[in-house]
Amino acid sequence: MGSDFSQPQRQSIVGIWIMFFYTLQQYGRALWPIILIWAFKFDEINKVYLVMGMLLVFTSIGVVSYLKYLNFTFSLDSENKEFVITEGVFNKTKTAIQLHKIQQVNINQSFIQKLIGVYELDVDTAGTNKKEGVIKAISHQLALDLKSRLLENEGLKSLSENEAISMEETEQKLFEVAHPFIKISFLSLLKVGITSNYQKTVALLIIFFSTIYENFQNFGEKNSIYKEKVGTFIDQNLVSQTILLGVIVLFVAVLVLNVIRTVFKYYDYNIARQKGSLLLSFGLLNSKSTIIKPEKVQITTVTRNYFQKKMGILELKIKQATSGEKEERKSAIEIPGCSESERDAVLKLLFYKIPEKGLMLKPNFRKLIFSVFLTIGLPLFAFMTIGHWLAPSIFDYSYLVPIGVLFIGLIQYFKFINNRLFINENFIIKQSGAWDVSDAIIEPNKIQAITTSQLFWHKKLNIGSITVHTAGGNVTFQLGNYTLIKENVNRWLYEIETSDSNWM
């Protein structure tokens, strides 16, 4: 039997400590400049006043935490089909969330919550850019029961239908919940950590070495005697070897840190079926558990690079309805280190079939020319202008220009080669990327709006652009065959008007 949520319930009594910790954290963030000044002037501060002030602060935080706990209740209104939360310290607020508008329910556990033995439950809809309902301290079993009630994927059945369900089917459903059908192994997480986030790694390397170089230049200008002594003592070949070794060591260190971050974030990643939905749980220090309803999914992205293909892994990213780009990045659910069979199993559960690519649209070669102009032509023009009129010394680094042009040119070429739009009767798939090649999958009945555009000088060439707007983000394809684009847009608009899907 599940828990009864018809009557208002409070959080766990230990939730007072959670409230106290988070309130103290908020005070600390707001008052950190004052705390920093007190730390530097600790010897000058009257210790009696300091102790009395700290006692007053802690007492006020304790009172506020207790009032937050006392006034916080949650319940389910079965008559109006709403999830009701009442909260506040002195002024109470009541939030009613319609059950059919709930997009996502997460069960999280921070390090502090793990020590105390409680969980946090977040309720999210597409209405705002923040969580509409957050329960900070709740037992695990109560959180699971509440999450199951909030995201019931199947409609209520009549008594006769319930009685008709066989015992084998019931046992099979219970088995699916208790036993995950996908479990991301520790080895797969290591592979993901090694083969992903190259852009962040390169950015960290550039920032680090530019800082070291700048500091070395400043130090050398202020210490001419040191430069003379060191310059005569160190062999130039040894310096080159040291720099090369430093680059290798730093690159390995960044990869190790990336592996650690991946393992800590996605440790013990399990995916199970629950009443036609996906139940995901993962995390080492900060645990997270969430349910994904297939009809609420907006964009599903499959990403893979060359190394991941050789290792037999890929990454999945699932986007549900959000309220903006910032919230879109935060709410995207990632499934790292999947095999191809695991990918197919997830896609079948989300779409009830494996999406096929169908008709392929390619961008016109002018797309490549324009990209090269923006990323190579304009920077070269700026480089020549600055060097000729403002800072001629910049030409000392002209030997780096061919390397940069070749590198950026290759990136733009592979981006152009991989830029495709595939149109199927049931799916729209946008392929993109230079190194990490991604396939963004959209169902036409999830589209909110479609924008098409064509510049007047593109009319004779019959090329144009399209942007598909969904509640989980936008997908854009530029300079494709405009006739085919318009034909499919008309069909999608008709499907949107006649569809009765409940994705919101």
221-227, long-range: CB < 8 A, 24+ apart = none
Residues 478 and 351 in one domain: yes
Note the pLDDT of residue 177.
47
Query: What are the structure tokens assigned to 325, written together?
Result: 């780009």
Say which residue the tokens 């907006």 belong to: 298
Tell me the pLDDT of the chain averaged across its residues. Answer: 81
Stretch (H or E) spanning 428:
strand 428-432
Residues 351 and 492 in one domain: yes
Residues above pLDDT 70, as percent of the chain: 77
**Cα first-last separation, the chain:** 29
Q: Is 225 domain-assigned?
A: yes
What digits encode the pLDDT tens for the residues 451-462? 999 999 999 999
Residues 71 and 83 in one domain: yes
**Domain, as residue range, for 403:** 366-415
Residues 410 and 423 in one domain: no
Say which residue the tokens 């405009």 belong to: 482
Whether the per-residue pLDDT at 152 is higher than 60: the answer is yes
Residues 353 and 391 in one domain: no
Residues 357 and 327 in one domain: yes
Q: Is 170 domain-assigned?
A: no
Cα 104 to Cα 331: distance, rounded to the nearest angstrom: 9
Whether the per-residue pLDDT at 343 is higher than 90: the answer is yes
Lowest-pLDDT range of 98-107, 193-202, 349-358, 439-448: 193-202
Residues 340 and 462 in one domain: yes
Query: What are the structure tokens assigned to 245, written together?
Result: 């070794």
CATH of the domain at 19: 2.30.29
Lowest-pLDDT range of 20-29, 84-93, 332-341, 431-440: 20-29
Q: Is 1 domain-assigned?
A: no
Strongest mean pLDDT among 74-83, 160-169, 419-428: 419-428
**pLDDT band at 55; cut points 50, 70, 90:** confident
Strongest mean pLDDT among 24-38, 178-192, 286-300, 469-483: 469-483
Burial class of residue 241, CB neighbours in 10 A (0-12, 13-18, 19+): exposed
Whether the per-residue pLDDT at 431 is higher than 50: the answer is yes
Q: Is 282 domain-assigned?
A: no
Q: Is 25 domain-assigned?
A: yes
Whether the per-residue pLDDT at 98 is higher than 60: the answer is yes
Residues 399 and 424 in one domain: no
Q: What pTM value is reported for the model?
A: 0.76
Q: Is 451 domain-assigned?
A: yes
Residues 347 and 485 in one domain: yes
**pLDDT band at 470; cut points 50, 70, 90:** very high
What digits encode the pLDDT tens for the residues 312-341? 999 999 998 765 555 554 568 899 999 999
Reduce the DSSP state of residue 234 to 3 states and report it: coil
User: CB of 61 within 8 A of CB of 27?
Assistant: yes
Note the pLDDT of residue 383.
92
Q: Is 375 domain-assigned?
A: yes
**Domain final residue pick, 374, 393, 415:** 415
Residues 380 and 303 in one domain: no
Residues 24 and 133 in one domain: yes
Residues 450 and 494 in one domain: yes
Count the helix, strand and coil residues of the chain and give each as a percent rounded to the nearest 5. 55, 25, 20
Say which residue the tokens 């935490």 belong to: 65
Cβ neighbors of 56 (< 8 A, separation 6 or more) are none
Strongest mean pLDDT among 124-128, 330-334, 346-350: 346-350
Cα 72 to Cα 8: distance, rounded to the nearest angstrom: 9
The total number of structural domains that make up the chain: 4
Whether the per-residue pLDDT at 65 is higher than 50: the answer is yes
Residues above pLDDT 90, as percent of the chain: 36
Whether the per-residue pLDDT at 486 is higher than 90: the answer is yes
